[in-house]
Amino acid sequence: MLSREELREIAKMQGNGTYFVSLYLNVNPVTNPKGEYVIWLKNALRDAMESLDKNVLKKVEKDLNAVEAHVAGNRRGFKKGLVLLSSSGNSFWRQYNLAVPLKNELVVDKSPYIQPLLDIFEHYPRYAVLFVDKEMARIFVIHLGEITEYGEVHTPDVPGKHKKGGWFALAQTHYERHIEYHVGLHLKDVIKKLECFFKKEDIDKLVIGGSEDAVSMTKDLLPKTVMDKIMGTFHTGMFENNVEVLKKVEQVISEFEMQKEKETVDELIRRAMKNDKAVLGMENVINAAQEGKMMRLVFERDLQSQGFRCDLCGALSVKGEINCPYCGGKMDDVNYLVDFLAQKAVEQGALVEVVSASEGLKKAGSIGAFLRF
């Protein structure tokens, strides 16, 4: 997974006479039913080869070929957006399969082009999960629906509870104090690591899970800056795998996100009612997209959207016209109108927000948009 630290390092890279090829490609199978991105890339590569200075072309020819070969040979791993950054002169190659839509771009420059990646970092929240117990802790990052383990804190000096039994019981209070002392040290270790992690990665929110004791002890020790980011806690055991952790965390996150989504939907409906730079319903949203007005597209997760799309200019429609009202091209049936709309939104620099179903938005056609003007 893409980390803030990695992005910072890439941002610092400079050519020294070398060049970088940066490719952003919409590879969503829904909006590319005929593999249109392959054709787009072919044209973009040809344009680059024709327009680049001969000396520059010499330096990036390997990279252009590598990018083309990767797209041709790795389709099975593709999600919605593919990012490739390549500079053979710097022995540098990065590939990211993202679950968010991207606008097609091919850039050849003296430094890697990372603005779209920075935008993704800014717009999609990043959650940290701290999993804590009296002897160890694990930190996870959740971004764009993926969970990655960031690190582990192990403090092996914490004496085990089994030593409390038998004749050890004679000195019970002594041992309890001893354990408490070590647990305290361990938790301080954990918090130090957590603070360092928050500084390096731009984390928006934190979820804490673990045994009831450990969670409450940790919360008591947290500095206010970290405390303010807590959006919930949950109780569980230590050795669950990433999938199990994600399930428990999802519950906490979805409650938090539903509140935020509700605020967005309420504002959308309120503004649309007043005709204040917002619209509701598929047809109005399509018209706004056609006029390039979209700023934030908002729709329900399970929105079923059949419609029509011009095979020449890409115009969308909910009505069954035979010919495109804009260019006269042939209108094809499409089953995922909303994916095409999301792609248009991204191409206009608009944000895409998927929300859970709500009565208010359902009544308004399950889709709406905030507009630029």
Pick the closer one to Zn ion by CB: 21 or 315.
315
Beta carbon of residue 35, minimum distance to Zn ion (angstroms, whole number): 21
CB 367 within 8 A of CB 264: no
CB 182 within 8 A of CB 157: yes
In three-state form (DSSP H/G/I as H, E/B as E, the rest C), the secondary structure along 29-78 is CCCCCCCHHHHHHHHHHHHHHHHCCHHHHHHHHHHHHHHHHHHHHCHHHC
Least Cα distance to 339 among 125, 29, 3 occurs for: 29
Tokens 């092996």 sit at which residue?
156
User: Interface with Zn ion includes 312 (CB under 5 A)?
Assistant: yes
CB 153 within 8 A of CB 137: yes
User: Interface with Zn ion includes 321 (CB under 5 A)?
Assistant: no
Pick the closer one to Zn ion by CB: 83 or 324.
324
Stretch near Zn ion under the rule CB under 5 A, chosen from 72-80, 92-100, 326-334, 339-347 = 326-334
User: Interface with Zn ion includes 99 (CB under 5 A)?
Assistant: no
User: Interface with Zn ion includes 324 (CB under 5 A)?
Assistant: yes
Separation between Cα atoms, residue 233 and residue 253, nearest integer Å: 10
Beta carbon of residue 339, minimum distance to Zn ion (angstroms, whole number): 18
User: Interface with Zn ion includes 15 (CB under 5 A)?
Assistant: no
User: Interface with Zn ion includes 89 (CB under 5 A)?
Assistant: no
* DSSP reduced 3-state for 105: strand
Beta carbon of residue 282, minimum distance to Zn ion (angstroms, whole number): 18
Beta carbon of residue 326, minimum distance to Zn ion (angstroms, whole number): 5
Beta carbon of residue 41, minimum distance to Zn ion (angstroms, whole number): 23
CB atoms within 10 A of CB 159: 15
Beta carbon of residue 329, minimum distance to Zn ion (angstroms, whole number): 4
Half-sphere exposure of 28 (CA within 13 A, CB side): 21
- The pairing of strands 126-132 and 136-143 is antiparallel
Beta carbon of residue 328, minimum distance to Zn ion (angstroms, whole number): 7
Pick the closer one to Zn ion by CB: 168 or 326.
326
User: Interface with Zn ion includes 326 (CB under 5 A)?
Assistant: yes
Pick the closer one to Zn ion by CB: 258 or 327.
327
Tokens 């908002």 sit at which residue?
298
Per DSSP, 163 falls in state G
User: Interface with Zn ion includes 310 (CB under 5 A)?
Assistant: yes
Give the residue, chosen from 238, 329, 356, 372, that forms a contact with Zn ion under the rule CB under 5 A: 329
Give the residue, chosen from 171, 227, 327, 357, that forms a contact with Zn ion under the rule CB under 5 A: 327
User: Interface with Zn ion includes 232 (CB under 5 A)?
Assistant: no
Give the alpha-carbon dihedral of 338, 339, 343, 345, to 10 degrees: 20
CB 180 within 8 A of CB 136: no
Which stretches within 222-366 are classed as H helix?
A: 224-227, 242-273, 282-290, 337-347, 359-363
* DSSP reduced 3-state for 275: coil
Give the residue, chosen from 285, 315, 355, 364, that forms a contact with Zn ion under the rule CB under 5 A: 315
Give the residue, chosen from 42, 313, 330, 332, that forms a contact with Zn ion under the rule CB under 5 A: 313
Both tokens of residue 227? 């405390």
Stretch near Zn ion under the rule CB under 5 A, chosen from 93-101, 135-143, 247-255, 315-323 = 315-323
User: Interface with Zn ion includes 290 (CB under 5 A)?
Assistant: no
Beta carbon of residue 332, minimum distance to Zn ion (angstroms, whole number): 11
Pick the closer one to Zn ion by CB: 41 or 337.
337
Please give the residue ranges that form the binding site for Zn ion (CB under 5 A).
Answer: 310, 312-313, 315, 324, 326-327, 329
